[in-house]
Amino acid sequence: MTYTTGMVKLQAIRVAAAKDGFTEFKRVEDRSTVWLRNRLPDVGTNVHKRLCLDGLTNSATIYWQPVGAQFNSKTFRTVSSFQEWLGSHPHS
């Protein structure tokens, strides 16, 4: 995968995340990694999902906390798998 292809994929994941309420809150100095946070906390935990867009691995990792459980994470390499996950993990 070329650098350009990876950046296009991460930008598509970022657009999907924005539609679900994620906004940027931290950028690593070398600009290889961007952190996004969901504007609304999940009901039951009052914890905001966080999403790391990693330009070095061309992947996106989401972090969340289910009710009564420890934090979980899942890494995505395609926009479709990320969108599918978002659909199955609503805020409420």
How many domains in the chain? 1
Range 1-17 average pLDDT: 80
Q: How many CB atoms lie within 10 A of CB 66?
A: 13
85: its two tokens: 């996950």
Let me know if 17 is exposed, middle or buried by CB neighbors in 10 A (0-12, 13-18, 19+).
buried
C-alpha pair distances (Å), 42 with each of 4, 6, 67, 73: 34, 30, 9, 15
Question: Which residues form the domain of 41?
Answer: 3-88
Q: 91: pLDDT confidence band, cut at 50, 70 and 90?
A: low
Q: In this predicted model, what pLDDT tens digit does every residue of 21-33 receive, in sequence order?
A: 999 888 777 778 9
The owner of tokens 């599918």 is 84
CATH code, domain carrying 67? 3.30.720
Rounded to an integer, the average pLDDT of 60-73 is 90
**Mean pLDDT value across the chain:** 88
Q: Which residues pair with 62 in a beta bridge?
A: 51, 74
Q: Which residues contact 43 (CB under 8 A, 6 or more apart)?
A: 91, 92
pLDDT at 57: 92
Is the predicted pLDDT of residue 13 greater than 90, yes or no?
yes
